[in-house]
Amino acid sequence: MDRGSRGNRWPVPVALCALAYVVGVVFFPIVGFPFIASDSLLHVTENPSIRALTWENVKHILTSRCLTSYYPVRTLTLAVDYQLWGPTAGGFKLTNGLIHLANTYLVFWLILRLLRQWDTSVGSPKAWWDVAVAGVAAGLFAVYPVVVEPVTWVSGREELLMTLGALGCVHFHLSARRWSREGGKPRRVLVLYLAAILCCAAACLSNAVAAVIPLVVVACDAVMPERPKAWKIVRDSLPLLVLGIVTIAIKMGAGDDAGLIGEAAPFSAERLMLVLNVYWVNLRMLVLPGELGISYSPLRPESFLEGEVVLGAFAIGMTCAALWLLRRRRVAVFGLLWFVIALGPSSQIMVHHIHLADRFLYFPLVGAAIAAGGCLRRLGYLASERHARMGMAAAGVAGLVAVFLLIRFSAHQVHFWRDSIVLWEQTVKAAPDNPVAHRGLAISLARAGQIDQAFEEFEVALRLNPDYTFALGDYAFYLVNRQDLKAIELAERGCELTGWKDPDLRSTLAGAYISRADTLCQEGDFRAALECYAKAIETDPGYERPWTQSAFLRATCPDPELRDPAKAAQLADRALPMAAKPGQLSVLGETYAAIGQFDKAVGAVAKGLRLAQAAGERELARDLQRQLDRYRAQGSQQKSP
C-alpha cells in the first residue's frame, strides 16, 4: 500500500471523532438533569408496563397506547432503559444522546456516499474534501439548536427513533439499488430491501410522521444518476407505501386530534392558510432559532393577506424555484426534497393539535444537512485551480466557525432543561401569550412548593384562555388543598366544558366538594356538609372518600336530627369495597363501632392493619392494632349476656 492511499484513510476517523466530540460537548450535561414535564413522568416513572420486560408487559406495549399515541418502539426502548438504569433520568437521557450520535454518524455516512456515488461529473478537488464537507454538514445537524428538545427531553425520543429508522431505510435502499445494478446476488438484494422495510416499520412505530419515508425513498430513486424505470420504483417502494398508509390510518383512527383544530378542516381555506403560516414559521425557526421553548402559541390565521401567510406562500414558491435551480445538483436537490417532504406533516398537512415544536424540525433537518453538503462540495470548484486550496481553506474555516457558534448557542439552550421551572420560564419568555406555557410553569412552581407564584401563573393562563380545561382542573386541584371555594367554581366550569366526560375533572370537583364539607363540619354546619358530601358522591361515584366521610358523619353527628345509623351503615357498606388505604379503613371502623356493628368494625380495621404492615408503616400499624383490640373487646361485651 502506498503512502497516498494510507494518507487518505485518516480523514474519516478524524471526522467521526470530531462529531462525537461536538455532540458530547453540547449534550453531556443532560445526564445530570431530572425528568422534565408531565408526559416524561407518565411515559417513565408512572408507567408500570416498562418496569419489567415480561411477556405480559411486552404484549401490553405492543397492543395499547401510551397516552394518546401508539408508538410501541419508543416504549420498548424505555423499558430497556428502565432495566439498565432504573428510574434514574440520567440513563434515559444518555440513551437519547447516543441515538442522536448514531443519527449524526448515519447523516455523515449518507452525505459522504451520495457525494462519492452521485456527484461524479467531476472528481473531488482533494481526497479529503468530501469527508470535510460531510463532516461539517453532519456537524451542523448534530448541534443545531432545534435538536436540543428531542435529545434532552426523554419524550422526544420518538423523533430520534423515527429519524434513525428513516436513515437506516435509505441506507439499505441505496445499498440494494447498488447491488442490483452491479449484478449482485438476488438473495442479498432481497435481504437489503427487507432490511429497509423493517427500518421503515420501526420508524412508523416510533412516530406517525414516518409515513412520509416512502416518499423520501421515491425521491431518492427519482434523482439518482442511474434512475430505475418507473415501474421498478413503484414495485420496490410499494411495501413502504403500504406501511405509510397503515400508519396514517392508525393515526386517524385514534381520533386524538379530532376537533382540536375544528376551525380548520382538512380541505378548507382555513387549513390552507394554516399550512402556509406554519411552513413559514418553521422555516424562520430553522434559519433564525431565536428564543426556543417546549411549547408555542397556536397559530390562528384569518386571512390570506396576513403577513406570515403571504410569506409562507412566498417561501413555498422559493422552495420550488430552488428545486428547479438545483435540478442538476443531485445531492442538493435530494436533500431539499427530503426537507420539504419531512416538513410537510409538521406544517399541518397531517392534522395535529400542536402547531409548532422544535422536535418537529429534527427529521427535516437531515434533508437540510444533505442539501448543505451538496452545495458545500461545489465550493471547491468556484475558485481557479491556482486558488482552490485558499478557497477550500476559507470555506472550511467558515464552516468551523458556524459549527462553533451553534455549539455555544445549543449549549445555552441545553442549560434551560436543567429543571422544570427554568424550562417553563424560558418557554414563557419565548411565547408570553401561550396559556400552555403559563400552565406548565404554574404546575412546576406548585410542585416546588411555590404555591402563590403558581396561582399567579394559573390566573394568567386562564386570562389568555378562559376555556382552557387543563388549567381549570389543575388550578382547582391545588386550590382544594387550601379549602378555597373557588376550586368548586373552576372545576364545575371545566366539567361543563368537557360535557362531564373528563374523569380527572370530575375527581377534582368531588375533592373540592369534600374539602368544602370538611370546612363546614369544623364550622358546625353539618347539614350543609352532608349536602356537599352528597354532591361529591353524585359527581364521582367511584371516589371512596365522600362515602366514608358521609357515613362517619351520619354515625357520629352531634345533631340528633341528622344522625342516622341505618344510613351510615348503608354508606359504609358501599365505601368498604373501595377503601384501599389504612386511614380510610380506620374511619370506617369508627363508623361501624359508633353504630354498634363491631364485627364489621373489626373486619375493616383488620384490612387496614394488613395494608399498613405491608407498606412498612409501623406507627400506623400499632395504632390500628390498638383500635382493633378495642373493637374486639367491645364486640365481646356486646355478645355477653
Please report, rounded to a whole number, the percentage of residues in the chain having pLDDT higher than 90.
58
Distance of alpha carbon 586 from alpha carbon 608, whole angstroms: 7
| pLDDT score for 290 | 78
Q: What is the mean pLDDT of residues 531-558?
A: 93
Pairwise pLDDT comparison (613 vs 481), residue with the higher score: 613
Q: What is the mean pLDDT of residues 251-263?
A: 51
The secondary structure of 319-369 as a DSSP string is HHHHHHHTTT-HHHHHHHHHHHHHHHIIIIIS--S----GGGGHHHHHHHH
Pairwise pLDDT comparison (524 vs 3), residue with the higher score: 524
| pLDDT score for 71 | 86
Backbone phi, psi, residue 69, to 5°: -120, 145
201-205, 377-381, 621-625: range with lowest mean pLDDT: 377-381
Whether the per-residue pLDDT at 150 is higher than 50: the answer is yes
Closest to 149 in 3D by CA, of 255, 19, 285: 285
- Buried residues in 169-191 as b, exposed as e (16+ CB within 10 A): bbbbbbbbbbbbeeeeeeeebee
| Category of 259 on φ-ψ map: left (φ > 0), alpha (ψ -120 to 50) or beta | left
222-226, 447-451, 509-513, 569-573: range with lowest mean pLDDT: 222-226
| pLDDT score for 587 | 93
55-69, 405-419, 564-578: range with lowest mean pLDDT: 55-69
- Tens of pLDDT, residues 288-346: 887 888 888 888 888 999 999 999 999 999 999 998 988 888 899 999 999 999 998 88
Pairwise pLDDT comparison (266 vs 601), residue with the higher score: 601
| pLDDT score for 138 | 95
Cα dihedral value 158, 162, 165, 166, nearest 10? -170
Please report, rounded to a whole number, the percentage of residues in the chain having pLDDT higher than 70.
91
Question: If DSSP codes are grouped into helix, strand and coil, which group holds residue 424?
Answer: helix
| pLDDT score for 384 | 43
Distance of alpha carbon 210 from alpha carbon 222, whole angstroms: 20
- Tens of pLDDT, residues 66-87: 766 788 999 999 999 999 998 8
| Category of 326 on φ-ψ map: left (φ > 0), alpha (ψ -120 to 50) or beta | alpha
Q: Residue 494 in contact with residue 511, Cβ under 8 Å?
A: no
- What is the chain's length? 641
- Give the residue ranges of DSSP H helices in 28-88: 38-43, 55-63, 72-85
Distance of CA 502 to the CA centre of its chain: 22
| pLDDT score for 265 | 66
Q: Residue 150 in contact with residue 358, Cβ under 8 Å?
A: yes
Report residue 257's pLDDT band, with 50, 70 and 90 as the boundaries.
very low
- Buried residues in 431-464 as b, exposed as e (16+ CB within 10 A): beebbbbbbbbbbbbbeeeeeebbbebbebbbeb
Report residue 19's pLDDT band, with 50, 70 and 90 as the boundaries.
very high
Give me the residue label for grid cell 426556543.
292
Distance of alpha carbon 23 from alpha carbon 101, whole angstroms: 7
- Tens of pLDDT, residues 221-256: 999 888 888 888 888 889 999 999 998 888 776 554
Amino acid at 107: V
| pLDDT score for 401 | 79
- Tens of pLDDT, residues 382-433: 544 555 566 666 666 776 777 788 888 999 999 999 999 999 999 999 889 9
Q: What is the mean pLDDT of residues 176-182?
A: 87
Pairwise pLDDT comparison (225 vs 554), residue with the higher score: 554
| pLDDT score for 510 | 94
10, 124, 157 from 15: Cα distances, Å = 9, 17, 25
| pLDDT score for 269 | 86
- Tens of pLDDT, residues 443-462: 999 999 999 999 999 999 99
| pLDDT score for 460 | 96
Mind listing the domains of the chain with CATH numbers?
3-415 (no CATH), 543-641 (1.25.40)
Which helix (H) or strand (E) segment holds residue 388: the answer is helix 388-415
Q: What is the mean pLDDT of the chain?
A: 87
| pLDDT score for 348 | 79
Q: What is the mean pLDDT of residues 467-486?
A: 89
Amino acid at 311: L
Distance of alpha carbon 544 from alpha carbon 129, whole angstroms: 71
Report residue 641's pLDDT band, with 50, 70 and 90 as the boundaries.
low
| pLDDT score for 2 | 39
| pLDDT score for 252 | 72
| pLDDT score for 451 | 93
pTM for the model: 0.87
| pLDDT score for 160 | 97
